[in-house]
A and B are shown apart, each in its own frame.
Chain A
Amino acid sequence: MFKNRWKTLLVWSLLPFSVGLLFFIVVQVFFPKPSPILTSVDFGVAAFVLGATLRVPSVFAFLFGFVATLISVGIYYWDRRRVWEAQSLYADYVQDTAQKRRHFLRRLDHEIKNPLTGMRAALVNLKEEKTEEERQRAVGNADRAVQRLTRLLTDLRKLSDLDDRAIERLPVDVPELLDDVVTAARTIPAYEGRNITLLIPKIPSPFPMITGDRDLLVLAVYNLVENALKFTSAEDSIEVRALEDGRSILIEVADSGVGIPSEDISRIFDELYRGSNARGTEGSGLGLALVHRIAVLHGGGAGVRSSQTNPRGTVFTVRLPRR
């Protein structure tokens, strides 16, 4: 009897439960984006209402309705979890972008401030200096400040151009490209007589081609070589080399210079970031950011490894997918 009574109750309670479940499924199918309240409550309410209609002892209908509600709330939260995760990732991204932007503006302020101060001082000298020699010196200084600002603006424009325009996708012969860059770098008057070696493997031959924008790739490799020249002295040597590992082409620019402090390594590709030993050096502070951007636009990436103790040196790597 006791057993039988439990059986009756179970059947009578399972019935509204399953009808409630059916109702829930129907709602899910016909209203794919129901309001959160509807989603979590419909299941339980349907179970309860049906239980009452069919005169199931109300306490059991309520119990099953309650369980059903819990299940539906569970389903709802389980479903929303992915959305929340995405939202939190996005919030992190926004915060990160805002921070990068603040850093960028602060660095930009710094990069503009210095040449502008130099130019103001030069103008004062130009007004007040009496001797022709002093005035010529002021003109020279103003000229240099203008060149620095121009260089900064040109590189900023290159960066924004990269975001706007479609890159060319044509076959590019890497050894020939590297040869062009090395030849151009050897003829920079300020770095005459520097030791730059080009290393291209002879096997496999010919070296595999890549697809990309030759002009942009020239710019990227040139920036790396120029960077290496800037941070090395006449006694150091620089190697430009191409490697391949079946899937990617690696272009490396290595130098035997003083190396990059480890605290600078992670931010070295950031726009306008200057490492602690790069403060006094010429340049816009955008060269490596351009390299990174160009590599990414080609479906690859840029990296760096460096050591300040023996064996010291720095190797910049650009990885590009094979054709």
Chain B
Amino acid sequence: MTLDRPTLLLADDDPTIADSLAPFLERAGFHVLVVSDGASALEKAHAHHPELIILDVLMPRMDGREVLRRLRRSNVWTPTILLTQVGEASERALALEEGADDYLNKPFDPHELLARIRAVLRRARPGERSLTAAWLLTAKDLSLDRRARRATLAGRTLDMTPKALAVLEYLMTHPDEAVTRERLLEVVWGWEYPAGTRTVDTRMAELRRALNDDPAEPRFIETIPGEGYRFIAQVHGEG
């Protein structure tokens, strides 16, 4: 009965969240498995092979991060979205490091979760490691060493601020995806505020200067008028 409906595994220990999200996602055309702790999440992930996993970070009997680490260690590359409890800067950086495909700060609009799920599923190549789990990303003559926090263009190290680098990192791990300014604010800055979209544009200008990328004829980052930005070069991940 669930043959053509993608299966989602939703792990959240708060019943009011799980109970409301599950029917919402079912209505959106998914089959939803709900668990309320980390250990059961790990178990269900191995037993049912869901198409996508949504993990809360703070859960009893194993937190979401540990679940993700164990899955990745046993070579399970099921796309995963982490739901973070608080938008702490360190937590955001960690989520990227541990191979989550995307993440969402609580509290979020369920429609935003749905948009994230669809974007991640669209990008996913079943069984393959995703770019978000790669330490070294390359696109044309640009390479980004995520561990060393260093970007090089044609072998030359680029001089840019940590924020600009974080923007580049998010765009490169989500290539060919229209990324809104609001989304960048949320993942890189951790907050959204009304003047924020101009803040993003300022960093984008810095990033383009560093990449020597002409917005009129972009090699890397394209502006989508009224929407946001898109990384258009083909990205390869290693390590």
Residues of A bordering B, CB below 8 Å: 150, 153-154, 157-158, 160-161, 164-165, 168, 170, 180-181, 183-185, 188, 214-215, 218-219, 222, 226
Q: Which of B88, B89, B107, B199 contacts A215 (CB 8 A)?
A: B199
Is B228 close to A, CB under 8 A?
no
Residue pair B163, A215 in contact (C-beta under 8 Å): yes
Residues of chain B within 8 A of A214, CB atoms compared? 199, 202
Question: A180 to chain B: which residues have CB within 8 Å?
Answer: 195, 198, 202
- For residue A189, give the distance in angstroms from its CB to the closest CB of chain B: 10
Question: Which positions in B face A, CB cutoff 8 Å?
Answer: 86-90, 107, 161-163, 189-195, 197-199, 202
Q: In the complex, A47 Cα to B86 Cα: how many Å?
A: 67
- Report the Cα distance A185→B87, complex, angstroms: 25
Please measure, in the bound complex, the distance between the C-alpha atom of A160 and the C-alpha atom of B197, giving whole angstroms.
Answer: 22
Interface centre among A181, A188, A222 (most CB of B within 10 A): A222
Find out whether the CB atom of B194 lies under 8 angstroms from the CB atom of A215.
no
| B199:A218 contact, CB within 8 angstroms | yes
Residue of B at shortest CB range from A226? B194
State in angstroms the CA–CA spacing of A275 and B203 once bound together: 36
Are the CB atoms of B194 and A188 closer together than 8 Å? yes
Task: Tell me the smallest distance from the CB of B83 to a CB of chain A, in Å.
Answer: 15
Chain B residues whose CB sits within 8 angstroms of the CB of A183 once the complex forms: 198
Nearest A residue to B203, CB-CB: A215
Given contacts A168-B163, A180-B202, A215-B199, contact A153 B107 (CB under 8 A): yes
- Tell me the complex Cα distance, A157–B107, Å: 12
A-B contact pairs, 12 of them (CB 8 A): A157-B190, A157-B191, A161-B191, A164-B90, A180-B198, A180-B202, A181-B195, A183-B198, A184-B194, A188-B194, A214-B199, A214-B202
CA–CA, A180 and B161, complex, Å: 20
Chain B contacts for A185, CB-based, 8 A: 195
Report B16 CB to chain A, min CB distance, Å.
13
Closest beta carbon of chain A to B149's beta carbon, Å: 14
Query: In the complex the two chains form, is B161's CB within 8 Å of A161's CB?
Result: no
Which B residues are CB-close (under 8 A) to A164?
Answer: 88-90
A157-B87, A184-B195, A215-B163 provided; 18 other pairs, C-beta below 8 A? A150-B107, A153-B107, A154-B191, A154-B193, A157-B86, A161-B87, A164-B89, A168-B161, A170-B161, A180-B195, A180-B202, A184-B194, A185-B195, A215-B199, A218-B195, A218-B198, A218-B199, A219-B193
Report the separation of the CA atoms of residues A154 and B197 in the bound assembly, to the nearest whole angstrom.
16
Docked complex Cα distance between A215 and B89 (Å): 15
When C-beta atoms are compared, the residue in chain A nearest to B193 turns out to be A219
Residues on A with beta carbons closer than 8 Å to the beta carbon of B162? 168
Is B192 a contact of A154 with CB atoms below 8 Å?
Answer: yes
Closest Cβ of chain A to B21, distance in Å, is 15
- Chain B proximity of A183: nearest CB distance (Å): 7
Contact B88 A161 (CB under 8 A): yes
CA distance A237 to B191 in the complex (A): 30
7 A-B pairs with the lowest CB-CB distances in the bound complex, closest first: A184-B195, A222-B195, A165-B89, A180-B198, A157-B87, A215-B199, A158-B191
Across the two chains, which residue of chain B brings its CB closest to A155?
Answer: B191
Looking at the assembled complex, report how far the CB atom of B200 sits from the nearest CB atom of chain A, in whole angstroms.
Answer: 10
* CB-nearest residue of chain B to A225: B195
Residues of A within 8 A of B191 (CB): 154, 157-158, 161
Q: Which A residue's beta carbon lies closest to that of B200?
A: A215
A219-B190 in contact (CB<8A)? no
Cβ–Cβ < 8 Å partners of B198 in chain A: 180, 183-184, 218
Provide the residues of chain A in CB contact with B199, threshold 8 Å.
214-215, 218
Tell me which residues across on chain A come within 8 A of B190, comparing CB atoms: 157, 161
Contacting residues, chain A, for B195 (C-beta < 8 A): 180-181, 184-185, 218-219, 222
Write the chain B residue with the least CB distance to A219: B193
The CA-CA distance from A157 to B192 in the complex, in Å, is 11
Docked pose: A157 CA to B194 CA in angstroms: 16
Q: Can you name the residue of chain B whose Cβ is closest to the Cβ of A187?
A: B194
Least CB distance from A227 to B in Å reads 13
State in angstroms the CA–CA spacing of A165 and B189 once bound together.
Answer: 11
CA distance A160 to B88 in the complex (A): 9
- The residues of A that contact B90 with a CB separation of less than 8 Å are 164
Complex Cα spacing A160 to B161, Å: 22
How far is B198's CA from A168's CA once the two chains are assembled, in angstroms? Answer: 18
Q: How far is the CA of A198 from the CA of B68 in the complex (A)?
A: 50
A65 → B minimal CB distance (Å): 63
B166 to chain A, nearest CB (A): 12
**Nearest CB to that of A165 among chain B residues?**
B89
The answer for the CA separation of A47 and B30 in the assembled complex, in Å, is 93
